[in-house]
Amino acid sequence: MFFESFLLNLLILLILILALLFDYVTKYFSYWYIRHIPNKTPIPCFGTDYHRIIGFRSTSQEVDTLYKQYSEKFVGCIKSRIPDLIVKDPDVVRKILSTDFLNFHSRGLGLDKSRDVCLRNNLFYVEGEKWTLLRDTLETLLNNMKFETQEGLHDCLSGINGDTNIEQLLCMILDIVFKDLLIGNDVEECIITHLRQRAIKRSFKDKAKTYLKNIFPSLFVLFNLESSLTTECLKVRNINETKLYKGFKKAKSISQLDSKSIKVRAENEIELGVLSLFITEGYIPCYNVLTALLYELAKHPEIQERARNNENNLNLAIKETLRLYSPYANITRKCIGRYLASKDLLIDKGVMITIPTSSMQKDETLFNDPESFKPERFEKTDAVDGFYPFGMGPKKCVGKSVTYSIRCKLFPYTINLANITKDRHFIRHLIQAVALKMRVSAVTWPLAPLQTFYDYLITILEP
């Protein structure tokens, strides 16, 4: 039915369009309410995610706020317009990540279709058969990796006796370790150092792309965007001479992997994608966790002494650091088929799942005195409810098997807090430099000519 007035017809049409758009945007706003799941009130276009979208909170802060706000095992929220379920029950988490993995194997981001070479060949984002082939190849590669070079570490550590910026020191050490593992001594180019600097020192444009990738991944794919790290990876020369390339070519599944890359933009793009993966999901988590580990050991000299005298105590200190400073705050999954999570909750296909690992690892109902650094809590068993630094099930950390076997060996040092660090609050996101006072000390447990301060290296997390 139309009216004679053009303006009236146009007004009615606009009202209908707005009504349909409003219905589309708010379609799932009552999703959790009718299922009697506690939830935060959503608003159009933002859902319950408005604090995160406008930048008032990070993803981890938003999830942690909801985690603490509700005592129930499940908390509902709406990301833009899609239902998202925060799972706090350790038993249900184990089922989702392990027992019923086939129903939650997808992360649901769609970045495997991205123009970005590194993202679409990243173990975090690929799906289906390509994920299986890439994981098998990476496991073979990691199992054959050996750390050999120590001369460079001697150069880094020689002469250290006093206040030291531990972050700068760790960067130098990790550059040497990752170069030896991935590049080898045949390539003179400082590939690892260059990529690390690009990953850490991001411009405003880089941060905007990261924001879009995390908040609206479909738009990131639609606009054919790519990260600056990918741009730098594509400039890498001599990739054919690296240990990474040679190790990949020995893998039986590499030819199958190449066939899964539908749109090839660059030669050896699988290897370039994996190189980027080692930087973003290996180097950076190592860098953050090791900084936190040394900081905590400096704060607790009695724990430091036990760690220096016994390898098992060192491993306990590493686990406690992973609990307090989780490399990844959340694990995300997408439900690909209807799933009975409990007798009162049926999860529909397409619903996103968020597992708040960082919040669970600081939950006082799961850990006694969770804010304190107490490595002894892991003395009895590794299977602690709520402790998932490596994930669980088929998608658990692909580098876990070598995490405690590949070691960066340092001279035995005693570390203490420097004056500029003692009174500063240490937060999860390491913004300011951490300065520690280091001095040479005697050791009582032999591991080699050099002493181990950490085992958390070459870890690729796949939550």
User: What's the CATH code of the domain at 348?
Assistant: 1.10.630.10
Provide mean pLDDT across the span 186-210: 82
Comparing CA positions, the residue from 259, 223, 234 lying closest to residue 113 is 223
pLDDT at 344 over 60: yes
Confidence of residue 415 (pLDDT cuts 50, 70, 90): low
pLDDT single digits (tens) 137-164? 888 888 777 766 556 666 776 666 667 7
Q: In the predicted model, what is the mean pLDDT of residues 200-204?
A: 83
Q: Which is higher by pLDDT, 335 or 380?
A: 335
pTM over 0.85: no
Q: Considering only the C-alpha atoms of the chain, give the largest distance between any 2 of them, rounded to a whole number of Å.
A: 95
Confidence grade of residue 457 (pLDDT, cut at 50, 70, 90): very low
Residue 351: pLDDT band with limits 50, 70, 90? very high
Of 132-136, 192-196, 307-311, 396-400, the poorest mean pLDDT is in 396-400
Query: Is 50 exceeded by the pLDDT of residue 453?
Result: no
- Please report whether residue 463 resides in a domain: no
Q: Is the pLDDT of residue 358 over 60?
A: yes
Assess if residue 22 is contained within a domain: no
Q: How far is CA 217 from CA 44, 109, 210, 226, 357, in A?
A: 19, 6, 9, 12, 22
Domain for residue 19, yes or no? no
Asked, for residue 313, whether it belongs to a domain, the answer is yes
Structural domain contains residue 26 = no
Q: What range does the domain containing 116 cover?
A: 31-454
- Cα–Cα distance measured from residue 413 to residue 443, given in angstroms and rounded to the nearest whole number: 9
Q: Is the pLDDT of residue 269 over 70?
A: yes
- Our count of domains for the chain comes to 1
Q: Is residue 3 part of a domain?
A: no
pLDDT-based confidence at residue 53 (cuts at 50, 70, 90): confident
> What CA–CA distance (Å, rounded) separates 370 from 388?
15
Is the per-residue pLDDT at 133 higher than 90? no
Kindly state whether residue 57 falls inside one of the protein's structural domains.
yes
Is residue 397 marked as binding?
yes
Q: How far apart are CA 248 and CA 462, in angstroms?
A: 19
Among the listed ranges 219-223, 385-389, 438-442, 450-454, which one has the minimum average pLDDT value? 450-454
Long-range CB contacts (within 8 A, 24+) of 45-53: 45/80, 46/80, 47/77, 47/78, 47/79, 47/80, 47/81, 47/82, 48/77, 48/78, 48/79, 49/77, 49/78, 49/79, 49/80, 49/215, 52/215, 53/215
What pLDDT is attached to residue 270?
Answer: 83
Please check whether residue 460 lies inside any domain of the structure. Answer: no
CA 174 – CA 170 distance, rounded (Å): 6
